[in-house]
Amino acid sequence: MGQHHAQTNDMYYHESTFAPLFYINGHAFRWQDEDGHYWDSELPNHNSVNNPAQGYQEKTEQLVRSTRNANGQVISTVINRRLNKFDSLRWPYLSRKSVQWLRNQIAKFDCTLSYWDIDTGKVITRQFYWGDFEATPCEWEAVEVPAGSGIYYKIPLWYKDVKCNLIDKGY
């Protein structure tokens, strides 16, 4: 059986656990720690931004224009196609660097998302927007800001229970 892989960000993803669930704005972002080191098989709880924990929900919504006639029957017209929503995306544990990357994508609001579509049976790319975001800082480090000032701040190093949604824009 031949190897299937996609190239992005100068990296290849072979058929393995490293393959991303999503390509977000063309990036197959992999888990990395604060020092820029990639996946460590000894730390299986570390999910990449493109690979949220299992248990998210794939939802669809059909917009319709409807009214009732004089007999009380619904007269409706389908608007566009069914819209997708990736709801309750969750990462149990992400580094500050990964959370920062994710928040930067969310700040752009719009998102080009490539993903496996069950209806077409292939990978598709569509326009989405980001829904709510939440994260719980769980590990901290003291950092001198500005350097040499003698003033230290506690800043988050790791986050747990990172959550957000991606909602289809309909085109």
| Mean per-residue pLDDT, 73-99 | 88
Confidence of residue 18 (pLDDT cuts 50, 70, 90): low
Q: What is the mean pLDDT of residues 122-128?
A: 94
Q: What Rg, from alpha-carbon coordinates, does the chain have?
A: 20
In the predicted structure, residue 70 carries a pLDDT above the cut 60: yes
Q: What integer pLDDT is reported at residue 3 of this predicted model?
A: 36
Is pLDDT above 90 for 22? no
Range among 7-16, 43-52, 141-150 rated most confident: 141-150
CA distance 3 to 6: 10
Distances (CA, A) of 109 to 24, 87, 126, 132, 167: 12, 16, 14, 11, 11
Mean pLDDT across the stretch 110-134? Answer: 92
Beta-carbon count within 10 A of 128 CB: 24
Residue 98, pLDDT > 90, answer: no
Report whether 146 contacts 166 (CB < 8 A): no
Give how far Cα 17 sits from Cα of 13, 30, 48, 92, 171, Å: 9, 11, 11, 17, 30
- What local confidence, expressed as pLDDT, does residue 171 receive? 84
- CA–CA dist 107, 10 (Å, integer): 25
Residue 106 and residue 164 in contact, taking contact as beta carbons nearer than 8 Å: yes
Average pLDDT taken over every residue of the chain? 79
Q: What is the mean pLDDT of residues 93-113?
A: 90
Distance CA 68, CA 85 (A): 29
> What's the rounded Cα separation, in Å, for the pair 171 and 116?
16
Of 39, 44, 141, 35, which Cα lies nearest the Cα of 97?
A: 35
> Between the CA of residue 162 and those of 26, 48, 78, 115, 136, what are the distances in Å?
21, 11, 35, 20, 7
Residue 20 has which token pair?
Answer: 């991303």
Query: What angle (nearest 5°) sits at the alpha carbon of residue 164, between those of residues 136 and 111?
Result: 135
Encode pLDDT of 126-166 as tens digits: 999 999 999 999 999 999 999 999 999 999 999 999 999 99
